[in-house]
Amino acid sequence: MNVKGRKQELTIKPYKKPLGKVIRDNKVLMLMCLPAVLFFIIFAYCPMPGVYIAFTNYNFRDGIFGSPFVGFKNFEFLLKSGQLWLLTRNTIFYNLSFILLGNFLQITLAIMVNEIRCNWFKKVSQTIMFLPYFISAVLIGVLAFNILNYDTGALNTLIRETGGNPVKIYSMAGIWPFVIILCNIWQQTGYGSIVYFASICGIDSQIVEAAEVDGATSLQRIRYIILPSLKPTFIILMLFALGGIMKGNFGLFYNLIGPANSQLFPSTDIIETFVFRTMMNQNNFATSSAVGLYQSLFGFLLVMFSNWVVKKIDPDYALF
Amino acid sequence: MKNKGVKMTASTAVVRMISYFCVTVFSLLCLLPFLLMVSASFSNEGVINREGFGLLPKGFTMTAYSWVFRYPKMILGSYGVTILMTVCGTIIGLFLIAMTGYALQRQDFPLRNVLSFFIYFTTLFTAGMAPTYIWVSRYLNLKGSYMAVFLQLLMTPWLIILMKNFAKSVPYEITESGKMDGADDFKIFTALILPMLKPALATVGLFLALGYWNEWYNSMLYLGSAVTYKPLQYYLYNIVNTAAQLKNSMAGAAITITDLPTNTLKMATAVVATGPIIFLYPFVQRYFITGITIGAVKG
C-alpha cells in the first residue's frame, strides 16, 4: 500500500504546482502550523546568529554585533588551557558510561520483569521502578545530599553506627564519577527498560510456546529468542545515543555538584556546567558561547553521522 | 502461560528466582531515597545534627513542616504559580502541538516535510546557552518575567513528532469524510480528529505537565530573585542551596539562622514540592509508557 502511494507521488511530481497555488490550497493547514513555526523561529532560530559572540570579546554595552571581533582567540585560549579537552573527555566519558551500562541494565531488567509471572508483582514493581524518572533534577540533588553529606547523611550515619570513620564525600573528586553514574542509573533504568520490555512483549508468542513445548529452558529462551529479537532496538537506540554523546544532562550534574564546589570539577565538569558557570558566575559570555558553539557543531556532525549509519542499517528508523 | 503439562526445569526455576530477587531489590533501591527523605522531614533537628539521618524518623516531630508553612504566602504562592503555569501551559501547548502534529502528517499537505524538518532541525543544531540567554533576556526583554519560563516550555520538537506519529494512526478516511462534508481543515481537526486523539493527548499532555511542574532551569536563568513567588522546584532549589536565601524567603521575618531547622526543613520542603507528583503518578504512568514505546525509537 505504502509503496504504491509513494510511486504515485513520484509520477505526479513532474507537474509541480506553482507556489502561489500550493499556498492558496493549503492555507488552513499552513495557518495551523504557524504557531509552532513562529515558536521555533523565536526561541530556536533567532538566537542562532548570536553564536557570533564566540568570535568576539563580548561586552554588554556594545551588544552582540558591536563588540570587538577577535577571530578564533576564544577557542585558542580554551584549547591551550586544556579546558576544552577536559570538558570533552568528561562529557564523552559520562555519556558512554550512561549509554553502555544503562542499556545493559535496562535489557537485563526488561528480561527479568518478563520472567515474572505474578501480575500484581510485575505491576507494582514496574510502578516503583519508573518513579525516579518523574522527579525534578533539584530533588535528585536533595536526595543525594540527604544520603551523602558529611554531617547528617544517611550513609555516614550508617558508617558511624557500625563503628567506621565517616567520609567527606563532597570533597572527594575521585568518587564522584561513580556517584553520578549511580544517580543516572537510578533515575533512568526503570523507565528506559520500557522500550526493551515492549519489544519483548512484541515477540510472537507462538515461537515462545513452541520453544517451551520443545523443552527449552528459560535461559535458552532468553539466549536464542529474546536477546536476538532485542538486537535491532538495541542497535538503533545505541546509535542515536552515540549521536547525542556531546550533550550532557545539565540538571543532574548541576544539582549534584553545584556551582561552587570547584575541587570536584576536574572529574565532574561537563560542557553544560562549564558553559553555565562561565556565563552566570563570571559573566564571560564569549568563552561560554565558544564552548557552546563547539558542542553544537561537534554534536551536529555526530548526529548526522549516526543517522547516516542508521539509514544504512534500516531506512525506516532513520530520522530524516 | 497455563501449560501445566510442561514441567518447569530446574534452570528455569533458578532464572525465575533470580528475577524476582533482583527486581525486588532494585524496586527497593528506587524507593529507599524517598523513604529517607520522608523520614528525615519528620525528624528532630537536634537529634539529626547529633546522629544523622536514618531510615526511620529520629525524635518524630512536625516542626519542619510547621516551618515550611510558617509564612504560608511563600510556599502557597509558589504552588499557585506552578499550578497556574502547569495548567495553562499544558492546555495551550497541547492544543498547538496537536494541531501542528496533525497538519504535519497529512499526506496531502505538500509542505509537511519542509516544515517537519524546519522544526526537527532545532534539535540538531542549537544556538547554545549564552546566545539564547542574551536573546531572551536582552532582545525579547523577558528577564524577570514569568513568560520567559512559560513560553519556552510550551513545545518541544520531540513532542510534536510524538503527536505526529500518533496522528498517523488515525485513518485518512476520517479527514476525507470531513472534506466531503465541506469542512475546512481546522474544523476537521477540532471536530473529528481531536476526539480520536485522546490517548495521544493524555500522553503528550502528561509530558508537558511534568515539564512545567519540574521546571527550575529557566526560572534560575530568567527569574532569579526578580519575582516574589518562585516556581515550586526553583523555590526548593533556593531553600536547599543557600541559607541566606532561606532567610530572605521567610518573608524577611526577624529570625536568626540558628532558629531554623535547616536540615529537616530542606527535606520537608522537598516532600511538599514533590508530593502531588508522587500521588498522581500511579494513575497516570501508563500514558508515559505508551509515549515512550511509540516515541522512543523514532524520536
pLDDT in tens, A144-201: 988 888 878 888 888 888 888 888 888 888 899 999 999 999 999 998 898 888 888 8
pTM of the model: 0.88
CB contact under 8 A, A37 and B216: no
Q: List CB contacts (< 8 A) between B185 and chain A.
A: 28-29, 32
Residue A14 belongs to some domain of the structure: no
In a domain, A307, yes or no: yes
CATH code, A125: 1.10.3720.10
| Structural domain includes residue A59 | no
| Cβ contacts of A29 on chain B, cutoff 8 Å | 103, 106, 109, 111, 185
What per-residue confidence (pLDDT) applies to A1?
40
CB contact under 8 A, B160 and A36: yes
Which residues of chain B are under the pLDDT cut of 50? 1-5, 244-245, 247, 251-252, 296-299
Which residue's C-alpha cell is 540538571? A251
Q: Is B115 exposed, middle or buried (0-12, 13-18, 19+ CB in 10 A)?
A: buried
Domain-located, residue A276: yes
Q: Domains of chain B, with CATH numbers?
A: 64-295 (1.10.3720.10)
Cα(A135)–Cα(B214) distance, rounded to whole angstroms? 7
Alpha helices in chain A (DSSP H): 2-12, 19-25, 27-40, 63-66, 73-80, 83-115, 119-130, 137-148, 154-161, 176-201, 205-213, 218-221, 227-243, 250-257, 265-268, 271-280, 285-313
- Amino acid at position B289, single letter: I
Domain count, chain A: 1
Interatomic CA distance for residues A39 and A181, integer angstroms: 35
Q: How many residues in chain A?
A: 320
Contact B52 A191 (CB under 8 A): no
State whether B33 and A186 contact (CB < 8 Å): yes
Residue A2 resides in a domain: no
Residue A260, phi then psi, degrees to nearest 5: -115, -15
Single-letter code of the amino acid located at A184: N
- Best CA proximity match to A278, nearest among B233, B153, B133: B133
- Looking at the domain assignment, is residue A300 inside a domain? yes
Beta carbons of B54 and A280 less than 8 Å apart: no
Contact B16 A288 (CB under 8 A): no
Q: Quick check: B157 and A292 CB within 8 A?
A: no
Residues of B in contact with A222 (CB under 8 A): 15
Nearest to A123 by CA among B285, B280, B18: B285
| Model ipTM value | 0.87
DSSP string, A217-264: -HHHHIIIIIHHHHHHHHHHHHHHHHHTTT---HHHHHHHH-SS-GGG
Contact flag B270-A218 (C-beta cutoff 8 Å): no
Domain for residue A198, yes or no? yes
A72 part of a folded domain: no
The proportion of chain A whose per-residue pLDDT surpasses 90, expressed as a percent, equals 35
* Domain extent for A101: 86-204+233-317
The nearest CA of chain A is from the CA of B70 a distance in Å of 21
Are B53 and A154 a contacting pair, CB within 8 Å? yes
Which residues of chain B does A130 touch, with a Cβ-Cβ cutoff of 8 Å?
Answer: 285, 288-289
Exposed/middle/buried for B64, CB within 10 Å: 0-12, 13-18, 19+? buried
- How does pLDDT run along chain A (320 residues), one tens digit per residue? 444 444 455 555 556 677 788 888 888 999 999 999 999 999 999 999 999 999 988 888 888 888 888 888 889 888 898 889 999 999 999 999 999 999 999 999 999 999 898 889 988 898 899 889 889 999 999 999 888 888 788 888 888 888 888 888 888 888 999 999 999 999 999 988 988 888 888 888 888 888 888 888 888 888 888 898 888 888 888 887 888 888 889 999 999 988 888 888 888 999 999 999 999 888 889 999 999 999 999 999 998 898 888 888 888 777 77
Give me the residue from A116, A128, A276 closest to B30, CB to CB.
A128
Q: pLDDT tens, B63-112?
A: 888 888 888 888 899 999 999 999 999 999 999 999 999 999 998 888 88
Question: Residue B102, CB half-sphere, CA atoms under 13 Å: how many?
Answer: 30
Q: Does B239 touch chain A (CB under 8 A)?
A: no
Contacts of B102 in chain A (CB under 8 A): 32
Query: Measuring CA to CA, which residue among A94, A131, A130 is closest to residue A241?
Result: A94
Measured CA to CA, the distance from residue A92 to residue A271 in angstroms comes to: 10
**B296 to A195: CB separation less than 8 angstroms, yes or no:** yes
B58–chain A Cβ distance below 8 A for any pair: no
- Residues in contact with B55: Cβ distance below 8 Å, sequence separation at least 6, in sequence order: A154, B35, B36, B39
